[in-house]
Structure 1
Amino acid sequence: MSDSSISLLPVAPGASGTWDWDIAADRLTVDACFAELYDIDSEEAAAGLPTGAFFKAIHPDDRPRMRIAVAGILAGAEFFSKEFRVIAPDRAILWMHARGHAHFDENDAPVRFTGLLVDVTERKRTEERLRVAQSAGGIGTFEYIDGFATAAVSDEFCWLLGLHPAPILPVQTINSVRLGDGDRIIPDPGDAMTGDSIDAEFQIARRDDGRHRWIARRGEIAREGTGYRLIGVIYDITAAKEQEAALRELNDNLESRVEQEVAIRRQAEEALRQAQKMEAIGQLTGGIAHDFNNLLMAITSSLELLRKRASLDENALRLIDNAKQGADRGAALTQRMLAFARRQDLSTEHVDVQTLVTGFRELIERTLGPPWRLELAIPAGLPQVLVDTNQLEMALLNLVVNARDAMPAGGSVCIEACLKQVAHGEMTDLPAGSFVKLAVVDTGHGMDRETLARATEPFFTTKGVGKGTGLGLSMIHGFAKQLGGGFMIESIPQEGTTATLWIPVAQSAATAPAPSTANIPAPIAERKLKIVAVDDDGLILMNTSAMLEDLGHQVFEAHSGQLALDLLRKIPDVDLLITDQAMPNMTGTQLADLATELQSGLPIILASGYGELPEGAQQRMVKLGKPFSQRDLELAIEQAIGSSARSS
């Protein structure tokens, strides 16, 4: 036992070594384990060591005490039992328990001193932890010996469980305050022997007031042969558990928020991918439409010139007319494609949505037919929007027809409108600003997610063969985007669809007059004009020249902007320049800038299949959309020459 206090544990059977001290010869013999504990060379230990080696590794603070104890043996004491510290080779502090006894000769003089050295470091550490726990507030201690029905406990232990204070309590009483199934406060023998630790947490109902509390148990198992002893502490962790629950709830909320943000981000990424896909399709569609416009230009102009030939019989003229009608349909198709690509020619003006829809109502109702009912929900006082009236009417009519087709047995179609303010970043597809939401709502069969995702793609349609081009919604989408707004579709299968146009509110109340042929000056006096015609497409250039010559003008052809500039330098007094816009190396607007430097005030006609032109181009020259007829060309010439004459 310790010389300073009564141990709560017997000496644990740890590492141990033996010694034999021949007092007469002053030689110390130790076994291998003792040598290892003292960091003594095993060969030196077997040969014998001076007695000073016994004190070699003892902690300096314990060395005087141990010398006094050994001196007692030399003075005639028979038994020796001391605990002390040694410094291990790795500088760790270990606790040793030395137990020995002296051997005497016939004269009662000590001749030998033998004993056992045991490593009790773990036991000493356990005792130290128990002493700290006993002295700390709010911590109760307990000790339980295998086979007993009771346990030694502290007053704090009893208070934590709401039990009457007592130094010894029945294990059954202690465990009765435990709530639910699972580990007990004092573990069962089988549970306790599964490891070296008895750490656990559990809920209790205090015996005195019934309050539910959380208790933590920490302890260790000291094994003694076939039995064991449990030493441990308990303490209240209710506050920590409540904080843990609050933190768990906070984490759950954060996780939910993160999941929502991830979902929003995925939706935004999907919207961006969809927008990028539609933009790519739009660019491709616009390019195809432009090329088709060039082809149709060659066809329609050739047919028009051929139609003027008097030598053709009636059948030939009829065939030409059929071909011209087909070409016109193709031209209308390309205009829809350009609308989707946001490259159509728009004539915007300030429009009151309620007035437009109300005035358009009769046509919509005739389009729907008797089985379908039209409802309007458009409040008065909505601000005006800046829009192309004809395109908006076409878009509405297209949406109404789609709503009707989604309800083959009849139903209700509602056109509704409201004012909506959009904040920055609020909607992925819309900039910040004020918009009029104009929606067409039906109660038809709706669309599934896959169909809805492709609804605005060009040439995609769910209608039967010959019942739709698949360009209606794509045209509306492009039209709304070109205005600076948007087009959105919401649909639920078997419940219906809502198609919404977001139209920007006009910034000024001033009405911008729509261009009309009434503003075109009267035809100029017939005279032969010198005209430079420019186009990189040989077919269009040839047919444009043919139409101009048929009108009586002198034409100089150029296949590029540079060749046109060369002609302008060589030919004096050119009356007019007609140029294509989309040409390699030099666009039509770039050519126009250089041409006016060579000949100031030169009238210019810009021919293009695209609606949008570079900023300022529309004010400096006359726009002629492709494909154009000979009459369109003639009117554009009169406008260009007339505007030039007025400006001069």
Structure 2
Amino acid sequence: MLSRWLLPTPLSRSNAILLAMAFLATHALSLLLIRYGGPLAPAWPPVGIALAALIWLPTSHRRLIFVGVVVLDTLSNALQGYASLTTVAYLGVTMSELLFADWLLRRFASSPLRFARLRDVSLLLLVTALATAVGSVPAAFIAHAASGDPLIENAIVWWVGDMLAYVIVTPLTVLLLERRESPAAHRRARWWWRDAFALTLLFLVGSLMAFRGDTVFGALSAHPYMLSLVVLWATLRFGQIGALCCLMGIATVGVTLLLAGQSLSLGGKNGTDALVILQVYLGVQALIGLVLATALREQRETAEANAHMLEALSSSEQRSRQSQKMEAIGQLAGGVAHDFNNVLAAVLMQLDELRLLKAMPREALELLRDVETSAQRAVRLTRQLLVFSRQQAMQSSLLDLNMLVRTHVRLLRRVVPTTHALTVETAADALVVSVDGGMIEQVLLNLVLNARDALAEGGLIMIRTDRRVVDEVEAGELTAGHYAVLVVQDTGAGISPENMPRIFEPFFTTKPPGQGTGLGLATAYGIAQQHQGRLLVSSTVGVGTTVEVWLPVVADVLPDDGASAYAASTDSDEFAVAATVLVVEDEPTVSRLLQRVLERDGFTVRAATSGREVLDHWNLYERSVDLVITDLVMPGGVSGTQLAAELRRLKPSLPIVFTSGYDPEFDPSDETMVPGENFIPKPSTAEQILAVVRRQIASRVSIGES
């Protein structure tokens, strides 16, 4: 329980245990070397491991680390018979040195050292050099008092031994811990073990020959500084860990030779002198290897960061170009849809007028029905264009995406032939989204139809829902949070790379003429954008295509009352009232048909072609006009909403009805427009037009009577 409180995570506990075992083992080994031949430990690894623990483990556990050092140091000394006042004094110096080094690192390091930058290595060298120099002075006096050894020699041995531990053991320990916690970030290259074996064999044989000065060829003898090539190879092949491990191996060979009573080709009259020279040699090699390896790592990581940044910039630029392109296409599509709706409004109202003719032949009535069918198909097409251009209003409600898919799958099976297999898999948890259910059903239908058409000879269509989480780092065009993802996947022919950039363009299709409008993905894209989501497409030629629709999750559970259904009721008992209607419409055909429909129902109609004309001659209209029907988009510099605002200022009680081929939400003003109440979409039937006009007139009469 205490260990769990001190180190709450399993990884931190295992790291602490490994560090404690390494400290105890290296401390015992160093004491063993001293027992066999004086100060033959070229470094004092325990202090290097202790400093690595201070750097790596959480700062809140600093006291635990210092307690562990005291306990383990005392235990190792006691087990090997070194427990005395002298060892206690040495422990006090070591603790002071570690405290001083830790304080300096916390003072001057902006972040924990991970030795990924030369700045980290430089800071470690400066801090440990200062801390060790301070600690070497009392350590030298303790050694002189205990054995009478020269002060300067003892100070040098202490300083160099601890510095080697800090330069080699500390970064090696931190780097191994980093690799242990992030193995995926340090994947080994293929056949790494062959190079590791060859490198180990080379530095073992090379160290023996170099330290003994063996003859290599003729008069050429091996020299320890030739091992720099081995360290360089280890650095280039295995980075910082390779360089430091190689130096540890070279140090092991050198100490082994000294223990065997052999002199080193580096020089030295006795064991202590040879050890000091070996320490200096290892220090130079360690400094060169660590600095070079760190510089290479910094350069590599900087290059990778720059490459990622360039990739992100390129992706952002591509998304921006795509967004601008889609916005331009959307504006064009919306404008085209608006003009189409004006034409279709005239066509459908004329069809209504033709039906009223009594002497119409039966063949003519059948032709009229065919024309109306084609016109209604054109209406649906323009509605898809408005959806794509985000100029179609949404009627949002809270829905469970899983339920929507499951209830809609019966219809989907009807449009998928028996040669195709359709599988549906929904998420286990509810995916509550605020969406227009009709729009999402249209997206699902479009995607399934595309998948069906991609499987010319049959195949598998998979529909599934899932929950995804987007964090701040990967948000991109989305906001961070939870998303419901609708996935439609097929095993069809796939989309070729040259066609992929154009898949969201309206009317772009690779299907044969008459088999597709090219609006399926364009409409789905527009709907996803309207719902603050996104649509992703991935495809491989010959393998298949996967389309993902991301929608923001707004709740974890669907409310009990569900989505409130909207029902627009029309009162059949609405009474007719004699009234004068002012029609403001710049399209002559639509204006004439509106007049005819209204006059046939008993209304008096006056007409104007622009908002400017109405305002200039308002004194002629003011007394007689009971209701105004105005188009939203008109020439002359005065829009429908601007005209309405001015008329309400002049005559606050005047009812105003808007009409447009655009959706009412397309207008950027604060005007509230509700289809069936004060908005007549183009095209509309005569009954729909009259229902709105009657409702507005009736409400005005009711207000006047009250």
Whether TM exceeds 0.5 here: the answer is yes
Structure 2 match to 1:464: 512
Q: CA deviation at 1:643?
A: 4.5
Structure 2 match to 1:172: 219
Task: Give the letter aligned to residue 647 of structure 2.
Answer: A
Structure number with higher relative contact order (C-alpha < 8 Å, ≥ 6 residues apart): 2
Structure 2 match to 1:502: 550
Structure 2 match to 1:327: 375
Pair 1:372–1:642, CA change in 2 (3 A): farther
Q: Partners of 1:243 and 1:646 in 2: how far apart?
A: 89
Pair 1:569–1:262, CA change in 2 (3 A): same
TM-score by length of 2: 0.57
Any unmatched runs of 5+ in structure 2? 1-159, 161-208, 230-246, 257-282
1:599 correspondence with 2:654: no
Q: CA deviation at 1:449?
A: 2.6
Pair 1:503–1:573, CA change in 2 (3 A): farther
Pair 1:246–1:358, CA change in 2 (3 A): same
Pair 1:286–1:164, CA change in 2 (3 A): closer
Pair 1:533–1:164, CA change in 2 (3 A): closer
Structure 2 match to 1:526: 576
Pair 1:439–1:615, CA change in 2 (3 A): farther
Report the number of matched residues: 445
Q: Secondary structure at the match of 1:468?
A: coil
1:610 correspondence with 2:657: no
Structure 2 match to 1:342: 390
Q: Partners of 1:505 and 1:644 in 2: how far apart?
A: 43
Structure 2 match to 1:632: 688
Q: Partners of 1:424 and 1:615 in 2: how far apart?
A: 33
Q: CA deviation at 1:384?
A: 2.6
Structure 2 match to 1:286: 334
User: What is the RMSD computed on CA atoms of the aligned residues?
Assistant: 3.6
- What are the equivalent positions in structure 2 for 1:529-568 lying under 5 Å apart? 529-566=579-616, 568=618
Q: Partners of 2:566 and 2:700 in 1: how far apart?
A: 18
Structure 2 match to 1:189: none
Q: CA deviation at 1:388?
A: 1.9
Q: CA deviation at 1:255?
A: 0.9
Out of 248, 261, 282, the position equivalent to 2:296 is 248
Q: Secondary structure at the match of 2:499?
A: helix
Pair 1:354–1:236, CA change in 2 (3 A): closer
Q: Partners of 1:642 and 1:442 in 2: how far apart?
A: 55
1:516 correspondence with 2:567: yes
Q: CA deviation at 1:357?
A: 1.8
Structure 1 match to 2:678: 622
Q: Partners of 2:319 and 2:255 in 1: how far apart?
A: 58
Any unmatched runs of 5+ in structure 1? 1-136, 138-159, 183-202, 212-234
Q: Partners of 1:625 and 1:552 in 2: how far apart?
A: 22
Task: Give the letter aligned to residue 622 of structure 1.
Answer: N
Q: Partners of 1:645 and 1:475 in 2: how far apart?
A: 43
Q: CA deviation at 1:551?
A: 2.3
Structure 2 match to 1:124: none
Pair 1:177–1:599, CA change in 2 (3 A): closer
Contact 2:584 2:611 in 1 (8 A): yes
Structure 2 match to 1:574: 625
Q: Secondary structure at the match of 2:679?
A: strand
Task: Give the letter aligned to residue 691 of structure 2.
Answer: L
Task: Give the letter aligned to residue 604 of structure 1.
Answer: I
Out of 316, 326, 340, the position equivalent to 1:268 is 316
Structure 2 match to 1:428: 476
Deviations 1:132-171 (CA, angstroms, capped at 9, x unpaired): xxxxx9xxxxxxxxxxxxxxxxxxxxxx974779xxxx99
Deviations 1:286-337 (CA, angstroms, capped at 9, x unpaired): 1111111112222222232233222443344443333333222222211111
Deviations 1:383-426 (CA, angstroms, capped at 9, x unpaired): 43222222221221111111122223333222211233434563
Contact 2:228 2:285 in 1 (8 A): no
Task: Give the letter aligned to residue 574 of structure 2.
Answer: I
Q: Partners of 2:433 and 2:399 in 1: how far apart?
A: 5
Structure 2 match to 1:395: 443
Q: Partners of 2:417 and 2:337 in 1: how far apart?
A: 34
Higher strand share: 1
Contact 1:347 1:514 in 2 (8 A): no
Task: Give the letter aligned to residue 632 of structure 2.
Answer: Q
Contact 1:300 1:324 in 2 (8 A): yes
Q: Partners of 1:445 and 1:532 in 2: how far apart?
A: 57
Contact 2:210 2:223 in 1 (8 A): no
Q: Partners of 2:293 and 2:580 in 1: how far apart?
A: 90
Pair 1:506–1:541, CA change in 2 (3 A): farther
Q: CA deviation at 1:511?
A: 5.6
Task: Give the letter aligned to residue 476 of structure 1.
Answer: A
- Give the stretch that moved more between structures: 368-377 or 247-256: 368-377
Structure 2 match to 1:492: 540
Structure 1 match to 2:527: 479
Q: CA deviation at 1:582?
A: 1.2
- What are the equivalent positions in structure 2 for 1:232-243 lying under 5 Å apart? 239-243=287-291
Q: CA deviation at 1:370?
A: 1.9
Contact 2:493 2:541 in 1 (8 A): yes
Q: Secondary structure at the match of 1:505?
A: strand
Q: Partners of 2:425 and 2:492 in 1: how far apart?
A: 19
Q: Secondary structure at the match of 1:272?
A: helix
TM-score by length of 1: 0.62
